[in-house]
Structure 1
């Protein structure tokens, strides 16, 4: 199956590459891998996100479900550091830090950001590491 060195790839629409790059690189601290006239490729926490210039981006993201993506952090301190970074850089918070499934094995913290093209990014930390997958 997947080797630990393999990289997950996700392509999403972007309405403007400059504002998209500012959000992901300057805001979230992702590494810009490549930039072309019609897309940017990012190292998104070790995986690859490609933001394609498109007029089909979401004008209204509606609800978080079913379409969103993000990272589940194994370490709580990494989750907390990203929350602080998002706050310090004034990123668009769609849903602030919340607690889900309290008292159950799948209990976790979550928060959601919205990028400039209204793509929703959810970040999580499970208290029980068995829930990572």
Structure 2
């Protein structure tokens, strides 16, 4: 499956903290930047953090119930290969990351079974990282 990289620009109210988070915690390579924004290579995609006043969703996240967990909305993230997801989960745990939803297997034994984890960046943007042992299950009903 060939996928084009996405471009996502998100608001951050603390540019320095967000820059450290995406650069150091995730190890994302930094691209172009200015005093008000920074480009990152986010698992092969272009993530841009833009300095912006705190938004309502950063102040207090809304949630929807999914598989017995309160999933923050809005959120974004990446579908990773299973071993890459496991390595990222281990890396985040080793750094004592506070998860919104700890790494676990969602829909276990059902269509769409997947590994998932949720966390917030320092500016309250919710992220989800997931993986499928069978990528063909990505859009399965």
TM-score bucket of the superposed structures, by smaller chain: 0.7 to 0.9
Shift of 1:5: 7.3
Tell me the equivalent position of 2:46: 48
Matched, 1:78 2:76: no
- Of Structure 1 and Structure 2, the greater strand share is in 2
User: What are structure 1's unaligned runs of at least 5 residues?
Assistant: none
Q: CA deviation at 1:65?
A: 4.5
TM-score (norm 1): 0.88
* Counterpart position of 1:99: 105
| CA–CA separation in structure 2 for the residues paired with 1:89 and 1:34 | 27
- Structure 2 alignment gaps of length 5 or more: 64-70
**Cα distance between partner residues in 2 of 1:130 and 1:4:** 14
2:66 corresponds to: none
TM-score (normalised: structure 2):
0.83
Match of 2:118 among 99, 109, 112: 112
Aligned partner of residue 18 in structure 2, secondary structure:
helix
What is the aligned partner in structure 1 of residue 137 from structure 2? Answer: 131
What is the count of residue pairs matched by the alignment?
A: 130
Task: Quote how far apart the aligned CAs of 1:12 are.
Answer: 0.6
CA RMSD of aligned residues (A): 1.8
Distance in 2 between residues matched to 1:105 and 1:16, nearest whole Å:
40
- Mapped contact 1:38–1:52 kept (Cα < 8 A): yes
* CA shift digits 1:25-72 (9 cap, x unpaired): 011111111221111111100001111101133112232353111111
- With a CA cutoff of 8 Å and minimum separation of 6, indicate the structure with the bigger relative contact order: 1
Other-structure match for 2:5:
7
